[in-house]
Amino acid sequence: MKKHFEESLINGIKRMNNASDQHKKDELTSSRVISEDLEIDELILTHSYSQSAAQKILGVNHIVFKQIVDKAIDSGIIEKPLKLAHSYKYTIAHIHALQDYLNIKSWKDKFKGLEVIVVNNLKGGTGKTTFCVSLCVELALQFSYRPRILCIDLDPQGSIAQYTNLDMNDASILTGVDLMLGDNESDSVYQQYKSAGYSHEELVKGSVVSTHIPNLKILPSHPNDGRYIDDLLKMKLQAIRNNPETKDCVFNDLLQTKIIDHIKDDFDIVIIDTTPQKNVLVATAMDAATGLLVPCTPHALDWDATQKHLNSFISLIKDETPSTGDKLKWWKVAATNFEDEFGRDTAIYDKMREALSTDLLSNPLARTHAFEVAAQNKITVKDILPSHKLAPKKQLMKAKDSLTAVGRDIMHLMLTHADKADESEVK
């Protein structure tokens, strides 16, 4: 029985390490046969580009583009483009590989250090998870920087796992909480992996899940992650018994030491979805944070709750994080679910702008039917084309334009505060 369980775990880590993870979802994201011997995920096809669009991204004319592609194929840099009907399609992986082939600098070439953005609000119903996942996709699709993004789910509701093909009932899957508590749980799946010979760093990297966008990965959560709060309290009490001078914030650096430090060279931006509570899971996220985003729907009750949350959050950062907020470069409130029709949210939004001034993101994230449909299908609005007919075209374009504007604001924030790489360090 034990041998069978260990074999299951070993197969699990191999599966999690498989970069070609296939994504099988509903009919929108099912695979499509585009030739007799080629089948491709519909989401990957959605994010594929025509030759003219690919040329524009690379900044070359059609003659130079063809020469580059032919040489890249001959050199084994890329596979042949997808042939669909009478046209060719280039995937994101194609374009990224061609950009690397042409030595077009990416985020890691231009900047050093890791950006860690925490998304948090105590008020539920702000669209926090939709905002978080949509932002990850929006930033990952920035070809001019092609940042390597990791989305960490620290909300035990486990909503972000729904955007992958993961079966979270699979015992072999490790979450962020599993990795942070692993050394203190003797009978855990984590310890079974360690007994099978895997190092902690191998487990961290093996637990990161691929998505349909090659530079976007996810570290999922599970409802059982709620145990973190009680388990950490027990660890703290034991530490205090051993040393009465132990600070209350002890162990609130576990996200940094157990996860971030082991993936910091593999990613450029980490975006963390947190629980809508003020607890040690939020504290460990804030200890690692370089940026904070607080989504808020511009309704009277939401805005009132958010103001109280911001006032109390200062003490959490100063008193409950080992870093005491020293890593935090910026914070912003983001207006979400904003309805501009008939001026429904204008009055409260104006109050938010007056109170927050430059601490409010310049652009609100609009509320449209397209966001609701995307969430129902466990995708983002960026994964929907008008031809899918899931939402009215006008609503879809409004959602995409709104998300692009918010993404541009946040990209500007990061660029303003990012540390530039030394030219001597750039390969």
What CATH number did the domain enclosing 248 receive?
3.40.50.300
Please indicate, yes or no, whether residues 76 and 189 belong to a single structural domain of this protein: no
CA distance 306 to 162: 27
Question: What are the tokens at 380?
Answer: 């983002």
Q: What is the mean pLDDT of residues 371-388?
A: 93
Backbone angles phi, psi at 25, to 5 degrees: -125, -140
Residue 292 clears pLDDT 90, i.e. is over it: yes
Residue 343: pLDDT over 90: no
Q: Residue 415 above 90 pLDDT?
A: yes
Question: From CA 269, how far away is CA 142, in angstroms rounded?
Answer: 13
Q: Which amino acid is at 283?
A: A
Q: Determine phi and psi for 339, rounding to 5 degrees.
A: -105, 115
Report, as an integer, the average pLDDT of 398-414: 97
**Does 225 lie in the same domain as 97?**
no
- Please indicate, yes or no, whether residues 87 and 137 belong to a single structural domain of this protein: no
CB atoms within 10 A of CB 346: 13
Do 44 and 143 sit in the same domain of this protein? Answer: no
The pLDDT score that the predictor gives to residue 76 is 95
pLDDT digits 0-9 by tens, 94-116: 999 999 999 999 999 999 999 99
The Cα–Cα gap between 269 and 14 comes to 25
Which comes out higher in pLDDT, residue 279 or 26? 279
Q: How far apart are CA 405 and CA 364, in angstroms?
A: 8
Q: Output the pLDDT for position 315.
A: 87
Q: How far is CA 182 from the centre of its chain?
A: 23
- Structural domain of 410: 107-425
Angle of CA points 150, 138, 88, to nearest 5°:
105
Higher-confidence residue: 147 or 419? Answer: 147
Query: Minimal CA–CA distance to 208: which of 259, 171, 249?
Result: 259
Q: Which of 308, 10, 281 is nearest to 152 (CA)?
A: 281
Where in 76-132 does DSSP place strands (E)? 82-84, 87-89, 111-112, 115-119
Q: What is the mean pLDDT of the chain?
A: 88
Instruction: Report the distance separating Cα 118 and Cα 229, nearest Å.
Output: 19
Q: Which of 66, 101, 136 is the last residue of a domain?
A: 101
Coil, strand or helix at 234: helix
End-to-end, the C-alpha distance of the chain in Å comes to 50
Please report the pLDDT score of residue 22 as a whole number. Answer: 39
Rounded Cα gap, residues 37 and 307, in angstroms: 57
Helix axes 92-101, 51-58, angle to 10 degrees: 40
What percent of the chain lies above the pLDDT cut of 70? 89
Say if residue 149 is in the same domain as residue 29.
no
Q: Tell me the pLDDT tens digit for each residue of 183-225.
A: 999 889 999 999 999 999 999 999 999 999 999 999 999 999 9
For residue 290, give the amino acid letter.
Answer: T
> For the purposes of burial, counting CB atoms within 10 Å of the CB of 313, is it exposed (0-12), middle (13-18) or buried (19 or more)?
buried
Distance CA 45, CA 39 (A): 10
Domain boundary, last residue among 53, 82, 101: 101
Nearest to 338 by CA among 365, 311, 312: 365
pLDDT of 73 above 60: yes
pLDDT at 409 exceeding the cut of 60: yes
The count of residues in the chain is: 427
In this structure, the answer to whether residues 258 and 375 fall within a common structural domain is yes
Kindly provide the residue ranges of all beta strands, DSSP E only, lying in 124-175, ordered along the sequence. Answer: 149-154
Structure tokens given for 371:
């966001």
pLDDT (average), residues 123-144: 90
Please tell me whether residue 24 adopts helix, strand or coil conformation.
coil
Mean of the pLDDT values across residues 277-303?
94
Q: Which amino acid is at 39?
A: E
Angle of the 300-319 helix axis to the 346-356 helix axis, nearest 10: 30
pLDDT at residue 19 above 70?
no
Segment 5-19 shows an average pLDDT of 52
Task: Check whether residue 80 and residue 114 sit in a common domain.
Answer: no
Q: Which of 33-37, 133-137, 138-142, 176-180 has the lowest mean pLDDT?
A: 33-37
pTM of the prediction? 0.90
Looking at per-residue pLDDT, the higher value among 13 and 87 belongs to 87
pLDDT value of position 42? 86
354 and 262 both lie in a single domain: yes
Strand partners for 271: 117, 151
Final residue before a domain boundary, out of 64, 81, 101: 101
Tell me: do 207 and 280 sit in the same domain: yes
Q: Among 33-47, 184-198, 287-301, which stretch is predicted with the lowest mean pLDDT?
A: 33-47
Going by C-alpha positions, the residue among 290, 280, 289, 331 that lies closest to residue 310 is 331
Same domain? For 96 and 140 the reply is no
Helices 393-417, 369-376: axis angle to 10 degrees equals 90
The arithmetic mean of pLDDT across residues 253-257, rounded, is 96
Number of domains composing the chain: 2
For residue 424, what pLDDT is reported?
A: 55
pLDDT band at 171 (very low <50, low <70, confident <90, very high): confident
- H-helix or E-strand spanning residue 361: none
Same domain, 162 and 230: yes
Provide the pLDDT for residue 407. Answer: 97
Residues 87 and 188 in one domain: no
pLDDT-derived band at 32, boundaries 50, 70, 90: very low
